[in-house]
Structures are given as structure tokens and as C-alpha cells.
Amino acid sequence: MPFQSNASNLQALQNGQTYLYNSVAGRSIPAFLSTVAPMASLVGSGAILIGYDQNASISTFRLDSSTNPNLMTVGCTYIPTDVSSPVNFVLPSTAVKGECVKVIGFGTGLFKISATSPQFIAIGNNAANFVTAQSQFCVIHFFYTASTPTPSWEAYGITGSFKLN
């Protein structure tokens, strides 16, 4: 079948642009695909690549205690780097069921992770308002259950030990 599109009114595309329909203009116009961190698009000549941005400033954060308290964002990884004081994290106050965060211990100042009421932390068969790492390279993952009225952040993939409060 011959190419039948009436393309005579389409503007030229720049590298990595494609045509997206614009309801205001009433026609397709050149545009880049948009992404929300930690997703990113990488464009080249005639190519668009979609993936997770491994840039540390977007999806993985190294933080010390000077920025306490550190409100976490779903889908992100946190590396506490302080060598003398605890780095304090607060689990996201809003999340969708199944969304995750994780903390990879690095600094000797250790770290603490809190939940904002009515959220709580479920760890094994215990419930806690916050957990504190007990050694330098402790690691902990969380996923959100969204259960009401007591939405929990379920802890899993734990390395090292944590104190519960």
C-alpha cells in the first residue's frame, strides 16, 4: 500500500522530536517526549531512548545530617553519608500501593527512618513509628500497602540490624 499520509503541512522535526497531536492547534506538531524523574529520554539522530536516569542527582541521593529531616520521594534510593550524626529520613506521606523506597547505609553516623501518622512501619510481625540502623552498612527497603485506616510501609530486603521504636 502506498504511503497515504497527507504530510504536506507538517513542520520539520529537530533531532529526537516526533509528532504529537496538539488539540489547541488542531494538528500534530513537533515535540520531544516528556518524562518525569527518575525517568528520562535520551535523543539522537533519528532515535529516542526511554529509561531510568542513573544520574545520582535524580534517582539516587547522597545526604548528610545537614539536610535533616529528609522527606523521601517514592521510587528513589537514599545513601546517608554523615560520619558523626544520624541522618533522619521521613517516608513519603503520600504514595500509591506498591511504590518503594530504599536506604543503603554508608556513613558511620548511621540513619533513622520515620513514618508520618497514620502511616506506620511494618517489620516482621512488629509495628514501629521509626527504625534506627545499628551499623554502618545497614540496608532496608520499603513498599507501601495503602491499606486503610492504617497504611503501612512494609520493610523487606534488610541487611544488618535495626532498632524499632
Partner 1 sequence: MTINSALNMPKLATGQMYIGSSSGFPVAAALLPGNGCKVTIGANSTNVTNLGDSLNPNFLLNPGTVILQPNNKYVCNSILAVNFVTPIDLTARVGDLITITDFFNSAGWNISLNNVSQIIGFVNKNTSPGGHISGAGQTNAAVTLMLVRSNPDFWVAYSTTGNITIV
Binding residues (CB under 8 A) for partner 1: these are: 3, 5-19, 30, 40-42, 45-56, 59-60, 62, 77, 79, 81, 104-106, 135-139, 157, 159-160
- Dist CA 92 CA 109 (whole Å): 22
Q: Report angle CA 84, 89, 93 to the nearest 5 degrees.
A: 170
Q: Which amino acid is at 140?
A: I
SS3 66: helix
- Dist CA 52 CA 59 (whole Å): 8
Count Cβ atoms below 10 Å from residue 94 Cβ, excluding itself: 10
Q: Of the two residues 33 and 127, which places its CB atom closer to partner 1 in the complex? A: 33
